[in-house]
Amino acid sequence: MIDKRIRELRLKLNLSQDEFANELTLKRNTISLIENGKRNTSERTLNDICKKWNVSEEWLKNGTGEMFTIKDLDEQYASLVGELSKKENEVEREIILKMFKLNKKYLTVFDKMIDSLLEIEE
């Protein structure tokens, strides 16, 4: 059931219904209704979920295969550039621009700092 897989995904991403809904420009109540099987999920919402979190459409719709798709680096980069172009990502754009100004030595340090921060986030 798609509703159960959407809930499973949301929990795996460690997001509240409100956070999950906001990422999809939906209301929390909509996510609640979907997860409880009281509302069908639109094709647009399914596509948005797959695109936003690299979720396998096959897994989401049918429950087969792996939850997440593995994009190659070029696909990941293209997706991130698209996300960065949005107005609300000004801080991220500034960080990327500053990163490109670093020399190799400091870039390596920066990379290790990011890895450490990501470990803390998990």
**What tens digit of pLDDT does each residue of 79-92 get?**
778 878 777 778 88
Contact between 55 and 62 under an 8 Å Cβ cutoff? The reply is no
Query: Where do the domains of the chain lie?
Result: 2-62, 73-121
**What tens digit of pLDDT does each residue of 51-61 get?**
999 899 999 99
Alpha-carbon distance of 61 to 109, in angstroms, equals: 42
Alpha-carbon distance of 16 to 120, in angstroms, equals: 19
Q: What is the pLDDT of residue 88?
A: 77
**What tens digit of pLDDT does each residue of 67-76 get?**
998 777 787 7
Instruction: Provide CB contacts within 8 A for 64, sequence distance 6+.
Output: 58
Domain 2-62 = CATH 3.20.20.70: no
Task: Return the structure tokens found at 112.
Answer: 């290790």
Alpha-carbon distance of 96 to 91, in angstroms, equals: 9
Where helices occur in the chain by DSSP H, the ranges are: 2-12, 17-23, 28-35, 43-53, 57-62, 73-84, 90-99, 104-121
